[in-house]
Chain A
Amino acid sequence: MPMTKSSLIDAVAADADLPRKRARQVINTIFDTMTNALAEGKRIEMRGFGTFAVRVYDGYTGRNPRTSVPVEVDPKRSVHFKVGKELRERINGAEGVELEDDGDESDDT
């Protein structure tokens, strides 16, 4: 079962001994604040967890695969996440992982 925002709220309410309403306020504040930062073009660095950064992708001419009619795809922004060292190592178990990166083309920390 995946963890959802709702089950995250439950977990935080239990661990911090907070009313659910308060825990929800905390979780919403965290993700709203992160969303606003990204919308302003900021990077987010959560030590031990990872970094989020806005990336710009150029437009291109695509094709509807069914009708093969060309479609113009506009340039757009999206979010690139790079896992932090601690979490990457925890996900891979204790034994060290050789590569610096997750194998992506990512350039920075």
Chain B
Amino acid sequence: MGSESNNTMTKADLARAIHDLGVFNKKQSAELVELVFNTLKQRLESGERVKISGFGNFEVRDKDARPGRNPHTGDDLTIEARRVLRFKPSQKLKDQLNATPVSEDELAQIRE
């Protein structure tokens, strides 16, 4: 169906969840997902912070120019001043991710 894989959630999965509310048809459901993310993008583009309680906060930050290096050639270069988007997950979201302790398998993967 619309779903990419068992391991990745996409907009199609969100549209399906909205459709499952039994209120909107499939086209409306997909349009609502687009509307929500377009709204978030517009606000962030204008430099506003977005705070979704229970999920997390998005914040645009200004980064100064700094010296860097081309990782392929090793040449020195200047990384231009730029704006980056930071996401900080809420404590509630982090708690939900840690409802079960981190397993030995998970640890083995990051320790390798």
Contact = CB atoms under 8 A, between A and B. Distances in A.
In this complex, the interface size class of chain A, counting residues with CB under 8 Å from chain B, is 35 or more
A44 B5 CA distance: 11
A79 B54 CA distance: 13
A2 B82 contact: no
A40 to B, nearest CB: 9
Interface of B: 4, 6-11, 13-14, 17-18, 21, 23, 31-33, 35-37, 39-41, 43-45, 48-58, 60, 63, 79-80, 82-87, 89, 93-94, 96-99, 101-102, 106-107, 109-111
A47 B11 contact: yes
A56 B111 CA distance: 10
A15 B37 CA distance: 13
A19 B64 CA distance: 44
Contact of B85 (A3, A4, A44, A87): A87
B20 to A, nearest CB: 8
Of B60, B82, B109, most buried by chain A (CB within 10 Å of CB) is B82
Nearest to A49: B37
Given A22-B23, A43-B9, A46-B10, A5 B51 contact: yes
A35 B101 contact: no
B51 A56 contact: no
A97 B96 CA distance: 36
Contact of B41 (A22, A49, A76, A92): A49
A37 B83 CA distance: 29
A102 to B, nearest CB: 5
6 smallest A-B Cβ distances: which pairs? A81-B87, A2-B49, A75-B102, A37-B9, A79-B89, A77-B97
A3 B80 CA distance: 28
B98 A76 contact: yes
Given A30-B33, A42-B8, A90 B84 contact: no
Given A4-B53, A48-B41, A78-B89, A33 B33 contact: no
Contact of A88 (B48, B85, B111): B85
Interface in A29-84: 29-31, 33-35, 37-39, 41-50, 52, 54, 56-58, 74-79, 81, 83
